[in-house]
Structure 1
């Protein structure tokens, strides 16, 4: 199932959920606030839902699906889809399916004060992934939500109004100050545990800004008197002929087993003991290690910083003492929504970031980026998201002004995709999403900003 088809499936379930909640709680307003795991978190404006009430919502939603409710829709001048079913009219950002009967796979999970509507797993569309309460991820979302509420920012239009009132610079400064404060607090926490921690492990999904985050964190660590030392997991790839294959017989470079795990463990243990090692340098053109590596030594006041998709996986270096590690999960958890029912998916924010960056720095056109996205997402679902709760701390790399800043760049690229392209529908949807954001002048965005990793002009080597 394509990413676009998955979105339509989810949009249709959300429509049914809205209809059910309207009937069960006619005086309440449902809010669909953010994605979480393979689902979305929902709550009522003025009430805390009980487990019994959530079970009743799920029961009625299943009845709605079994009735194979017809859903009609048309795109309105406001760029939203005007959907009609069961005497209701609701506007959505994605077109729904024509009927509800195929929406067999979902679950509602009580998650006070609201609940999570769990969708089928993207890699296995006819199954629901086991639910493990995402306590740290949920706390990170809540922290961002409280910050936005304190600033009286809830919807995209709130940010647009600030921009139209010549408040762009204040907006940028505010968002960047929040990032700096959070990164500084993480560095302080590491400093407090400096006697034990020898290794910082950073992971997160594609286009989360991990590289810039790692370098900004390293700067704050140096401010605290620590000396960060970077070690790249990419240099520990196995030779091409030893790389495992995926189900299609292609090299699976995103598999944990594509790395030389015994060598990595031996080197990390030796470095922590204060010994010298010769770390490999991987030649990606020839698919093997270079004959000569790089000498490395870890002094008592130095701390290793490793960034990579497997950094939070406990199987990466199982021989190391967990107390010697500090794990960080980085993701762009965008929380400004268009309205109560139409959220801005965090996945699509990252996709827009990637489209712009790929074109700017990697010579990759938007069609190719969109073509790679399904594989990227599959890798994230297999190798990153299952381990996010392993993190000691989470960092939200989203910036409340970022889609305003990215819009002119992404619009030009997405607008070049023609109707005969397989990804035209996705491109059209992303253009619709961007149209809700007023363009913002990027010239005053700091060169240390995570957004510079995608726009260009970064102070750091990204």
Structure 2
């Protein structure tokens, strides 16, 4: 199932949920807060629900699905979709399915103070994945929400109002100051464990700003008297002829087994023990290692920094003592929504980042980036998201103003996609999403900002 199809499936369930809540709790308001694992976290505005009440909601939602309700909606000139349920007019950025009867797989899970509406994974649309409470991810969302409340920001319109009032510079500086404070705090945590921690492992999905984050963290570590040394997992790829194949017979460069794990483990154990090693350098043109590598020795005040999609996977370095590692998960966990019912999906924030970056720095046209997205998402679901709770700390790389700043660049690219393109529907959807964000002048965005990794003008080599 494509990313867009699964979004329609999920949006239809959300519409049904809105109707059920209106029926069972007519004086309450449902708030669709944020995505979490393969679901969305929801709350009632004025009530904390019991397990019994959540089960009742699920039973009513199943009844709504099983009666195969016809969902009537209209498409406006603004490309938004308007449908009515329980005498409520719902506006959504995704079209719902026309019938509810195909919504076979979902579950409501009690997650105080609200609940999670769990959907099928896009990779496995005919079943629900086992649910393990994402305590660290949830805590990260809660921390971001508290910060937004401190700034009296509740939705996208609040940011637009700041821009209209010509106070966008203050907004930019506040958002960047929060990032700097968070990065400094992470560096302080690592410093407190400096007698044990010798390896920092950084992972996260595509277009999360991991490269800029790693360099800014390295700066803060140096402030604390540590000397970070980068070690690239890319240099530990197996030679092309030994690379595993995927189900289509193509080289699978994203699987863990594409790395020379025994060599990586031997080098890290040697470096931590104070020995000198010659780490490999991988030549991606010829698909093999260069004749000469890079000689390394880890000094007493030096600490390794490793960034890669498998960095949080416990199978990457199974022989290394866990106390010697500090793991960081980086992702753009965008928190501001359009309204109580309409989320801004974190996945689409990253896709917009990637569209702009790929065009500016990788010579990739937007249609190609959209065509690759399903494969990218499949790799994230297999190799990154299952291990995010392994992290010692999570860093939300989203910036309050980023879709306002990215809008002019992304719009220019998306408008170029014609109706003949198979990804035209997604392009129109992203344009609709961006239309909620007033454009922002980027001249005052700092050159060390994570956003510069996508807009250009970064102070770092990204």
TM range (shorter): over 0.9
In structure 1, the residue matched to 2:83 is 83
In 2, the alpha carbon distance for the partners of 1:336 and 1:26 equals: 26
Unmatched runs of 5 consecutive residues or more in structure 1: none
In structure 1, the residue matched to 2:159 is 159
In structure 1, the residue matched to 2:394 is 394
In structure 2, the residue matched to 1:308 is 308
Determine if contact 1:232/1:307 at 8 Å carries over to the other structure: yes
In structure 2, the residue matched to 1:415 is 415
Give the TM-score taking structure 2 as reference length: 0.99
In 2, the alpha carbon distance for the partners of 1:338 and 1:85 equals: 20
In structure 1, the residue matched to 2:251 is 251
Deviation at 1:260, TM superposition (A): 0.3
Bigger mean CA deviation after superposition, 85-94 or 311-320: 85-94
In 2, the alpha carbon distance for the partners of 1:52 and 1:78 equals: 41
SS in 2 for 1:329: strand
Deviation at 1:74, TM superposition (A): 1.1
In 1, the alpha carbon distance for the partners of 2:265 and 2:111 equals: 39
In structure 2, the residue matched to 1:237 is 237
In structure 2, the residue matched to 1:345 is 345
SS in 2 for 1:336: coil
Unmatched runs of 5 consecutive residues or more in structure 2: none
Determine if contact 1:39/1:119 at 8 Å carries over to the other structure: yes
Residues 167-224 of structure 1 show CA distances to partners (whole Å, capped at 9, x for unaligned) of 1100000000000000000000100110000000000000000000000000000000
In structure 2, the residue matched to 1:369 is 369
Tell me how many residue pairs correspond in the alignment.
462
Deviation at 1:78, TM superposition (A): 5.2
Residues 44-82 of structure 1 show CA distances to partners (whole Å, capped at 9, x for unaligned) of 001111111111111000000000000011122454211
Determine if contact 1:44/1:114 at 8 Å carries over to the other structure: yes
In structure 1, the residue matched to 2:360 is 360
In structure 2, the residue matched to 1:206 is 206
In structure 2, the residue matched to 1:260 is 260
Deviation at 1:121, TM superposition (A): 1.0
In 2, the alpha carbon distance for the partners of 1:261 and 1:127 equals: 32
In structure 1, the residue matched to 2:433 is 433
Residues 98-132 of structure 1 show CA distances to partners (whole Å, capped at 9, x for unaligned) of 01000011110000110000000110100101000
In 2, the alpha carbon distance for the partners of 1:208 and 1:74 equals: 35
SS in 1 for 2:12: helix
Determine if contact 1:282/1:290 at 8 Å carries over to the other structure: yes
In structure 2, the residue matched to 1:406 is 406
In 2, the alpha carbon distance for the partners of 1:4 and 1:78 equals: 19
Determine if contact 1:69/1:85 at 8 Å carries over to the other structure: no
Deviation at 1:443, TM superposition (A): 0.9
Deviation at 1:86, TM superposition (A): 5.3
- List aligned pairs for 1:136-155, cutoff 5 A: 136-155=136-155
In 2, the alpha carbon distance for the partners of 1:288 and 1:58 equals: 54
In 1, the alpha carbon distance for the partners of 2:411 and 2:77 equals: 19
In structure 2, the residue matched to 1:32 is 32
Aligned-CA RMSD value? 0.8
In structure 1, the residue matched to 2:219 is 219
Deviation at 1:8, TM superposition (A): 0.5
Determine if contact 2:22/2:86 at 8 Å carries over to the other structure: no
SS in 2 for 1:133: coil
Deviation at 1:84, TM superposition (A): 2.6
In 2, the alpha carbon distance for the partners of 1:254 and 1:67 equals: 43
SS in 2 for 1:89: strand
Give the TM-score taking structure 1 as reference length: 0.99
In 1, the alpha carbon distance for the partners of 2:406 and 2:424 equals: 19
Determine if contact 1:245/1:252 at 8 Å carries over to the other structure: yes
Residues 366-416 of structure 1 show CA distances to partners (whole Å, capped at 9, x for unaligned) of 111011100110000000000000000000000000000000000000000
SS in 2 for 1:117: strand
In 2, the alpha carbon distance for the partners of 1:398 and 1:161 equals: 19
- List aligned pairs for 1:20-169, cutoff 5 A: 20-77=20-77, 79-85=79-85, 87-169=87-169
In 1, the alpha carbon distance for the partners of 2:92 and 2:235 equals: 45
In 2, the alpha carbon distance for the partners of 1:244 and 1:336 equals: 41
In 1, the alpha carbon distance for the partners of 2:89 and 2:396 equals: 35
SS in 2 for 1:428: helix
Kindly indicate whether residue 384 of structure 2 is the aligned counterpart of residue 384 of structure 1. Answer: yes
In 2, the alpha carbon distance for the partners of 1:83 and 1:293 equals: 61
In 1, the alpha carbon distance for the partners of 2:416 and 2:21 equals: 41
